Amino acid sequence: MNDKDKDIVTPGRGLLFMKIGTHANEPLEEIIARKTKEIDDTGYAFWGYGGATCHPQKMVQPFANGFHRKGETIYLCMHEMNSRHFADQIRADEFSTDGIDWTTIPAPVNVLGSRYALVVKNLRRVEFDLPLHQTRVAIGNSMGISGDRYISGRVDKGCFEITEPDPSKDSRVVLIRLMAEIIKPYAVYVRNRT
């Protein structure tokens, strides 16, 4: 872990945590290779996902905007898991920041089997421990709940703020092996019109 990556686990910093694995029948290594090429070709990629816990307008955009106003970068910190996401590999051909006005997704960028996507750059392999007990949900109805309590069952992602270490809490640490910077417009809706 380089010094810049160490700064991520600093009280007051924001990050988006996500469990990742096979998605739309595509193995994780193939997704990483495809996204890396998209970033090389266009300067960014769309990292597709689903679920309301990181809704683009209600959660990710206001969360990321708040930290951006403070001059901070939001990182997507990803924890690999065994996944059996077998949705069809239908490519989204349009995106929207508000669900009303839609724009064509450029040909080099591909989002498969997803409702939403994070806008990312600088995707890279890393290796560091993220103490989930040292995070808290930063926005929404679950605001303030510690990350180790929030990430359970079917909840596999969240907008978190790093908190001060609390030695009285049991530590739940997850290994982060992939990371990216989240850039404006942070998160978008995606759809296929055909």
**79, 20 Cβ separation under 8 angstroms:** yes
Residue 3 confidence (pLDDT): 54
In angstroms and rounded to an integer, the radius of gyration of the C-alpha atoms of the chain is 16
Between strands 14-20 and 74-80, the pairing is parallel
| C-alpha dihedral sign at 150, 156, 158, 80 | positive
Residue 181 host element (H or E): strand 173-191
Residues contacting residue 87 through CB under 8 Å, at least 6 positions apart? 23, 24, 25, 113
**Alpha helix positions (H), 70-190:** 147-150
Strands 157-162 and 103-104: unpaired
pLDDT reported for residue 154:
83
- Copy the structure tokens of residue 186: 């942070």
77-103 confidence digits (pLDDT tens): 999 987 665 566 788 999 999 999 999
Contacts made by residues 148-152, CB under 8 angstroms, sequence distance 24+: 148/172, 151/17, 151/19
Q: What residues of the chain score a pLDDT lower than 70?
A: 1-6, 23-25, 83-88
| Max CA separation in the chain (angstroms) | 54
pLDDT value of position 5: 63
How far is Cα 163 from Cα 130, in angstroms, rounded to an integer?
Answer: 12
